[in-house]
């Protein structure tokens, strides 16, 4: 039911999840504190634990949100690309991936943080969110099967690293990766790199 309470409730949860995504992606799971998340969402820590009874569940909610965004992007891209020849479609998909990475740098930071070691969060993320994505990837590609994993991580890394370390990149190279120009340049580079 769409009561005023429910609307307010969902708005609050969104604020909390958004803050959680930021803090987790900046500080990692262990480095992030629930109080810092609450602070950024302009909420009390007790409100946070009310909506998300444990840090674990908060992290899962953040992951759900991020993968939801990717899902939206994917579906839109597939729809738009259904009538384009396969060669041009692959190029466009690569471009879209770069643009997604630029708009959601937190996404790959999540993946990189959790994939480092064997732990429950990694297993949950793989089983819940990553496996369906990888399945789609393998189905859309015609590389020999023993190369699929290599290409997958090469594309992912090449597309996202620039945006994942934007602050470092700017200080090191002078390039600000968040500008529209930088994003499109990178998209073009990645698309060229992985064609064929």
Partner DNA sequence: GAATTCGCTGGTCAATTGAACAGCGAATTC
Partner DNA sequence: GAATTCGCTGTTCAATTGACCAGCGAATTC
What does the DSSP assignment read for 58-117? HHHHHHHHHHHHHHHHHHHHHHHTTTS-HHHHHHHHHHHHHHHHHH-HHHHHHHHHHTTS
Count the residues of the shown chain that bind DNA, applying the rule CB under 7 A: 25
The yes or no reply on residue 131 touching a second copy (CB under 8 A) is yes
Give the nearer residue to a second copy in terms of CB position, either 16 or 187. 187
H/E/C letters for each residue in 114-159? HCCCCCHHHHHHHHHHHHHHHHHHHHHCCCCHHHHHHHHHHHHHHH
The yes or no reply on residue 186 touching a second copy (CB under 8 A) is yes
Give the nearer residue to a second copy in terms of CB position, either 79 or 180. 180
Residue 70 binds which one of a second copy, DNA, none, with CB within 5 to 8 A depending on kind? none
CB of 145 to a second copy, least distance (A): 10
Residue 3 binds which one of a second copy, DNA, none, with CB within 5 to 8 A depending on kind? DNA
Binding residues for DNA (CB under 7 A) = 1, 3-6, 8-9, 12, 32-36, 43-47, 49-51, 53-56
């Amino acid at each position: 039911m769409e009561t005023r309470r429910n609307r307010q409730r969902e708005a609050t949860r969104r604020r909390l999840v958004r803050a959680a995504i930021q803090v987790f992606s900046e500080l990692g799971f262990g480095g992030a504190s629930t109080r810092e998340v609450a602070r950024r969402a302009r909420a009390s820590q007790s409100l946070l634990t009310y909506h998300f009874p444990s840090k674990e569940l908060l992290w899962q909610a953040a992951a759900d949100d991020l993968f939801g965004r990717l899902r939206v992007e994917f579906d839109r891209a597939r729809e738009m690309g259904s009538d384009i020849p396969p060669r041009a479609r692959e190029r466009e998909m690569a471009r879209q991936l770069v643009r997604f990475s630029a708009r959601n740098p937190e996404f790959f930071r999540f993946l990189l943080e959790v994939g480092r070691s064997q732990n429950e969060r990694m297993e949950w993320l793989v089983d819940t969110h990553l496996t369906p994505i990888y399945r789609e990837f393998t189905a859309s590609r015609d590389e020999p099967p023993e190369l699929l994993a290599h290409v997958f991580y090469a594309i992912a890394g090449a597309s996202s690293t620039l945006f994942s370390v934007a602050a470092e990149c700017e200080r090191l190279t002078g390039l600000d990766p968040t500008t529209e120009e930088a994003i499109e340049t990178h998209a073009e580079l990645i698309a060229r790199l992985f064609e064929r």
